[in-house]
């Protein structure tokens, strides 16, 4: 949908813009909450139920992170200040880079949790060493810390900080 077609829709575009923004914020909250829950649940030698909950939480995290990505692209292309506003703002580019780095980091826990599915299928709890749990914990800590920075970058960017005068 182009900006012109949204202008033709009039009030509908305002509602659509609000819904896309809402889904963007909701995705952020769900992603952050899922990361915190994953960190809280993580331990060596989880029970079958704890491992299943971790996998479910990671699925929620992945879907919420995808929601952030899709709604973010929609906001830049159709509902925001215009592509130029974002593409020429180093704060925005930093925010996107940080988000993508978090996504890259999240592959390690996700792949680990996928591997847990094999023993779970056989009715067994996954075997996670203390060292592996510690590594996963550090990755989740870094993801959480980076996630905390994203709203600050968004607030700075939304106020035009980083744009050349």
Which one is predicted more confidently, 117 or 2? 117
Task: Identify the pLDDT of residue 10.
Answer: 52
Task: Identify the pLDDT of residue 8.
Answer: 47
Which one is predicted more confidently, 65 or 9? 65
pLDDT in tens, 44-59: 999 999 999 999 999 9
Please check the confidence at residue 9 and state whether its pLDDT lies above 70: no
Q: What is the mean pLDDT of the chain?
A: 91
**What average pLDDT does this structure show over 11-40?**
93
pLDDT in tens, 59-103: 999 999 999 999 999 999 998 888 888 888 999 999 999 999 999
Q: Predicted confidence band at 11 (pLDDT cuts at 50, 70, 90)?
A: low
Closest CA to 115 of 40, 68, 51, 44: 51
Task: Identify the pLDDT of residue 129.
Answer: 93
Task: Identify the pLDDT of residue 163.
Answer: 79
Task: Identify the pLDDT of residue 3.
Answer: 57
In the chain, where the domains are located = 3-158
């Amino acid at each position: 949908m182009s900006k012109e077609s949204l202008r033709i829709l009039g009030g509908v575009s305002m509602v659509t813009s609000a819904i896309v923004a809402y889904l963007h914020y909701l995705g952020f909250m769900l992603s952050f909450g899922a990361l915190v829950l994953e960190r809280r649940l993580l331990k060596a030698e989880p029970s079958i139920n704890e491992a299943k909950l971790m996998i479910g939480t990671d699925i929620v995290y992945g879907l919420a992170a995808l929601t952030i990505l899709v709604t973010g692209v929609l906001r830049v292309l159709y509902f925001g200040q215009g592509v130029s506003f974002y593409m020429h703002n180093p704060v925005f580019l930093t925010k996107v880079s940080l988000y993508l780095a978090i996504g890259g980091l999240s592959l390690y826990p996700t792949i680990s949790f996928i591997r847990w599915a094999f023993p779970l299928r056989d009715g067994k709890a996954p075997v996670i060493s203390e060292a592996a749990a510690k590594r996963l914990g550090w990755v989740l800590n870094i993801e959480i810390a980076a996630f905390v920075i994203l709203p600050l970058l968004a607030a700075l960017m939304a106020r035009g900080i980083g744009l050349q005068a």
